[in-house]
Structure 1
């Protein structure tokens, strides 16, 4: 079997993953500071709820449907008409997108102000008391400040998709560092000052301003990259009259906005329902979500972006065998890396969250509120990651209506399961619902690919999954009984149990990769081959 194409995809995605890794590691530092400064109660609940709204627009219109739809369209225009036509079409797209985003920002910000005033009336407090709660009132207070971030970051995501068509993957991924740098700086200053109580209300507004500044700077840098790549938008009235880019883009974006972002919509539904469970539910979901987002962001999103660009070229040539091979190759590597991550989180969620979050305003009670969320979200890592890969062949072939249909089924399933499970398992039920809905979406996409005549190497994928699960479970079980001894020996006053957990992580990696080597897992030599090629070509 020719694995050259797979190696190319893996090499490109590893480059993006390396850039994203730094951003996600800083994101973990941010989680640690957020937990200690904002705690796990009403203040953290308000911040998580308010920030989730512009973040959802980012995932839907930035790195989600719009970016996904732009890649095949811009690649096609570039191949047929050249860069000047691309610039004219981008001028149309970004002009219209800017107007839409400005309208969205104004509507959401105005709605938040109106709801805040309405919540103070006696009738609303009687029939919908959660709207008058402290957490919702604080969220409505800072949401107008946060919403312009959606304008900046959605444009950033669209520009990143255009840069991907020029095989510029790493530099756009580095832009996400800015948000973490700004928020870490502000949170660290608050932590050193020991802010607590009512002082944190004003601090939420300060954090919102930092988010806006980071978004504006990131947009400016991305525009500079676009100019250097020779794809800076060109404005022309004639292009508006003659180009059909908006119609083609609309047909792809509308279904893709839902179809490509089922997981993100599910997360937003989760938060909306969790706000009714009490002040600890949203922080528990948010902190664990951010930790789980590490493997999804590091590898799956990067791999999905590279796959969409690569498969778009294969789809234009009508080469289904190449799409099938690349998809099988990518799924094997997703499971090879994500299954042990899931096992690690399930076995060691408590020390992980204790090290990352416990301290300051985050209490043991907040930690236990996250227990079932961590276990269920951890188990869902392979499903969350593989869906990013499975969407690539649909997006590359402009089959957004298909993904829309399946995503609507998954979203409906998620909402129904939420309403059933949340009352018994609390926020854990919300997490479990999201995982089950994501698994359903994966299953539907896989079945459709097979019906479309895109054969997958199902046996090799199943072998990789089973082998990875068996080796990871063996390593996890052994270290689960060993960790209490490590914790006793390697816990110190100023750094706590972090050294013990670090040693645990190293041992888990050694046991997993060692066991995979003994089991002759083909993914290991494939990874090493990519790394050697990258080293020789550097």
Structure 2
């Protein structure tokens, strides 16, 4: 099993804590705002800076920065600090211009994008003005997090989303009881989110400074690394922009469906379904993608080609070992999961029914979303950003065509299904074109690993299918008959199904000697020995 896969377990644990807080956040969001106009406006306004954050902070910027930082570190630590300082100052300048452009043009392009009533579009504009500052804090934080990751320090960078989620929860628990109007509530929430962004940046700056890796801020914009990073970023940013453009199209189409079907809550149901899917992809895919890049860079320095192939195969196998069960669970238990987390307040049975089908479709792509993150990181390790660009342009086209074809039959669920299919296409193309590098995609090794995992996957899927059709109605009816309310019944039922599911999968993995289970148990034993 690869070093990247091993290191990703610790990072996944910290990310898991963040995602649990995220589920609490989403529960309070659903109960407080439901799927109405205010919730839809917040969802759209938050997606816009989030799109740029995903493009820069969580992908292109940090992954393009890492190889250059490693190169500068070969010369001297001082050069690495000067280089990162020049990039930081230039980045701040570019981001300031971007925020200014958004402020100027939001009143013109947002009403066209979201449609609906004037009240709705005005609220989207108002919230965008507040939330767009997140792009500045998130992008600057990404540089400091990349510096820490390059030194194999993953703990404090992984705290970043935890800080933001704590700000959400503070507002829900401590402030919302004193604020009744929905408009006032969403404004207070937006300011708290931006405050969380600044706290995230402050923590990352402090950690880098504490470890004596702080960049030396300078205004030397002629530094060769600035040209290099933008040369690397441009194809990657264009590739990422295809994905972000597809999100914009998704927002437009979801708003169109919602305007055609008042009360459907298409925008919010898609948003909450996507957030649930981001739980496993964030915990597993992002963790592996983050840890594999430094590991591949170290092997590339020594030209250890067999080691690179092993790292990649190990990371992909471990991603599948964890994401396929997550996908099966999300697909078969979509309704109980939605009810357990969101039901109550302004979230009702109609909201759950609206979100079930998108969640099932998104679940199909969970393994592919995670694997694609790992593969794109691998391309970046070779400083190849052009191939992912071409592949993502193809996927973007497929996604748009599928959206426009399926939306007439599946309404908002078409958006989720199109995303899933395009993710599968992206995986196939990324795997095929990796052969242009000396490593190539480890198809044979991965197929052998999958064949070993196939029986545990089948056993888990069979149990979940049997439970959903035969046990679920009986358990739910019994819990209701003894006076337990619907929400608590859903949560108890979900707890009852998760435990045997995990047991079946882990025991069968041990019986069939699946590598992933040995990595998990070895890491757990090591932590017990340390304790």
Match of 1:422 among 388, 391, 407: 407
* Aligned partners of 1:323 and 1:393 also within 8 Å: no
- Choose from 319, 325, 332 the match for 1:334: 319
How has the CA–CA distance of structure 1 residues 194 and 92 changed in structure 2, closer, same or farther, with 3 Å as cutoff? closer
- 1:92-131 aligned at under 5 Å gives the runs 92-114=86-108, 130=115
Selected match of 1:142 from 111, 124, 127: 127
1:470 aligns with 2:458: yes
Please state how far the C-alpha of 1:428 moved relative to its aligned partner: 0.6
User: Which residue of the partner structure matches residue 219 of structure 1?
Assistant: 201
Question: By how many angstroms is 1:194 displaced?
Answer: 8.5
1:38 to 2:33 alignment: yes
Segment of structure 1 superposing worse, 356-365 or 399-408:
356-365
**Cα deviation 1:328-365 (Å, max 9, x = unaligned):** 11111111111111111111100110111121111222
Q: Give the Cα–Cα distance (whole angstroms) in 2 for the partners of residues 428 and 510 of structure 1.
A: 32
Runs of 4+ that moved beyond 6 A = none
Structure 2 residue 467 is the aligned partner of structure 1 residue 479: yes
Is the 1:62–1:153 contact (alpha carbons within 8 Å) kept by the matching residues of 2? yes
**Corresponding residue to 1:249 among 229, 232, 237:** 229
CA shift, 1:490, in A, is: 4.3
2:418 paired with 1:433: yes
Q: Would the alpha carbon gap of residues 272 and 231 (structure 1) be closer, same or farther in structure 2, given more than 3 Å must change?
A: farther
TM-score by length of 2: 0.92
- Is the 8 Å Cα contact of residues 332 and 460 (structure 1) preserved in structure 2? no
Question: Aligned match of 1:502 in 479, 483, 495?
Answer: 495
Aligned to 2:75: 81
1:515 aligns with 2:508: yes
Alpha-carbon distance in 2 for matches of 1:133, 1:319: 60
Conservation of the 8 A alpha-carbon contact between 2:39 and 2:268: yes
Secondary structure at the counterpart of residue 458 of structure 1: helix
The answer to whether the 8 A contact 1:50-1:146 is kept is yes
Mapped to 1, the partners of 2:425 and 2:321 lie a distance apart of 21
Partner of 1:532: 525
Aligned to 1:24: 19
Indicate the larger mover: 252-261 or 416-425.
Answer: 252-261
Per the alignment, in what secondary structure is the counterpart of residue 359 of structure 1?
coil
Please name the residue that 1:366 is paired with. 351
5 Å matches for 1:301-340? 301-340=286-325
CA distance, structure 2, for counterparts of residue 236 and residue 26 of structure 1: 38
> TM-score when scaled to structure 1?
0.91
CA deviations 1:394-444 (Å, max 9, x no partner) are: 011111011111111111211121111122211110000001111101000
Distance apart, 1:537 and its partner CA: 4.9
How much does 1:92 deviate? Answer: 0.6
Q: Please, which moves more after superposition, 176-185 or 439-448?
A: 176-185
Kindly indicate whether the alpha-carbon contact (under 8 Å) linking 1:486 and 1:500 is maintained by their aligned counterparts in 2.
yes
Residue 214 of structure 1 and its aligned partner are, at CA, apart by 0.8
Match of 2:187 in 1: 205
- Report deviation, 1:190: 6.6
2:345 counterpart SS class:
coil
Equivalent position of 1:234 in the other structure: 216
Q: Name the CA shift for 1:520/1:105 in 2 (closer, same or farther; >3 Å).
A: same
Is the contact made by 1:490 and 1:497 (CA closer than 8 Å) also made in structure 2? no
User: Does the 8 Å contact 2:270/2:412 carry over to 1?
Assistant: yes
Would the alpha carbon gap of residues 464 and 113 (structure 1) be closer, same or farther in structure 2, given more than 3 Å must change? farther
Bigger shift: 411-420 or 258-267?
258-267
1:396–1:535: structure 2 CA closer, same or farther, 3 Å change rule? farther
Measure, in 1, the Cα distance between the counterparts of 2:463 and 2:375: 29
**Distance across 1 between alignment mates of 2:455 and 2:395:** 28
Structure 2 runs not aligned, ≥5 long: 260-264
Give how far 1:381 is off: 0.7
